[in-house]
Structure 1
Amino acid sequence: MTRTPPHDVPAAAELVAAVRDFLETDVLPAVEGRVRYHTRVAINVLGMVEREIELGPAQAERHAASLAALGVADDAELAAAVREGRLADDGALMAALEQAVRAKLEVANPGYPTRE
Structure 2
Amino acid sequence: MAAVADFLEGDVRAATSGQVNFHARVAANALRMVERELLSSGDAEVRTALADLGFADEAALAAAIRAGELDGRDEEVMACLRALVRHRLAVAHPGYDSE
TM-score of Structure 1 vs Structure 2, range by shorter chain:
0.7 to 0.9
| Structure 2 CA distance for aligned equivalents of residues 115 and 37 of structure 1 | 28
Return 5+ residue gaps in structure 1 as ranges. Answer: 1-15
Letter in 1 for 2:61: L
Q: What percentage of aligned pairs have identical amino acids? A: 50
| Structure 2 CA distance for aligned equivalents of residues 84 and 27 of structure 1 | 49
1:66 — aligned with what? 49
2:63 — aligned with what? 80
Deviation beyond 3 Å, 4+ runs, structure 1: 113-116
TM-score, normalization: structure 2? 0.85
TM-score, normalization: structure 1? 0.74
**SS of the residue aligned with 1:114?**
helix
Deviation at 1:26, TM superposition (A): 1.3
Establish whether residue 29 from structure 1 lines up as the match of residue 29 from structure 2: no
- Superposed CA RMSD: 1.9
1:108 — aligned with what? 92
1:10 — aligned with what? none
Return 5+ residue gaps in structure 2 as ranges. Answer: none
Letter in 2 for 1:35: V
| Structure 2 CA distance for aligned equivalents of residues 31 and 115 of structure 1 | 34
Letter in 1 for 2:25: R
